[in-house]
Amino acid sequence: MGFAPATVSAPAASSVRMGVEPPAALSTLAKDLNPVIGYWDPLGLGTADFWSQGNDATVGFLRHAEIKHGRVAMAAFVGYIAQYNGLHFGFPMSLSGNDPQYAAGLTPPEQWDALPMQAKFQILAFIGFLEFWGELGASIGDNSHYMRGGKPGAYPEFPEKNVIPFTPAGVLSLYDPFGFSKSKSDEAKAKGLLTEINNGRLAMIGIMGFLAEQKVPGSVPFGPKLSAYAGEVMAPLM
């Protein structure tokens, strides 16, 4: 035993400090979002320290993730309702004109399953590019990363062409391409963000409720009666 090397345990990937008071900004934000419930954090994420980056960085990461996933869920919720009722683009989505996802009677998960693998990879590659640009662009120029004091939920604009090659000339905003938000006051933007977070939270529950009801009919109390789905909703390339 005396000649055995000392055992060094690996540092934990994250830590949650239970019983620690959350940052005051989170408590205020929670009351602004829902005055009835207020701050409710049973998992203690508001006081967590992910990857030993500090609590401020952890809160920034979690807030950005929630806003981003809420936006995706809102688009998914509206898209699910439209596609379930047979609404889709009125033109072919493939060069061959053969769009199996448009077959009558297919529900949204079945429409995804009907897509050819090449189409799925194109969609996932585009999403990957948005994730890449969101992380890279958040640290370029005057921008600050959302884990380093930057604004959670802010999507970086494409800068001038001479800053990064192959980008459009001038500034292009994917978040606000038509400039609707630029003329709004800071108070209006703050109120809009609160509305967006609340709508995003509800949309996340809603889209998962749709999928749960399709996968296990009757599993959602007071939910809509949807066609059963035999596939796997958590397998994106199925």
* H-run or E-run covering 49: strand 48-50
Residue ranges in the chain modelled with pLDDT below 50:
1-11, 162, 167-169
Q: In sequence order, what are the residues at sequence separation of 6 or more whose Cβ sits closer than 8 angstroms to the Cβ of residue 217?
A: 225, 226, 228
Its pTM stands at 0.82
At residue 3, the pLDDT reads 45
Taking phi first (over 0 means left), then psi (-120 to 50 degrees means alpha), and beta for anything else, what does residue 61 get?
alpha
Q: Counting beta carbons within 10 angstroms of the beta carbon of residue 207, is it exposed (0 to 12), middle (13 to 18) or buried (19 or more)?
A: buried
The CA distance from 192 to 198, in Å, is: 10
At residue 144, the pLDDT reads 83
| Residue (of 159, 124, 155) closest to 140 by Cα position | 159
Q: What is the CATH number of domain 48-87+99-215?
A: 1.10.3460
Q: In sequence order, what are the residues at sequence separation of 6 or more whose Cβ sits closer than 8 angstroms to the Cβ of residue 138?
A: 144, 145, 146, 150, 154, 156
At residue 70, the pLDDT reads 96
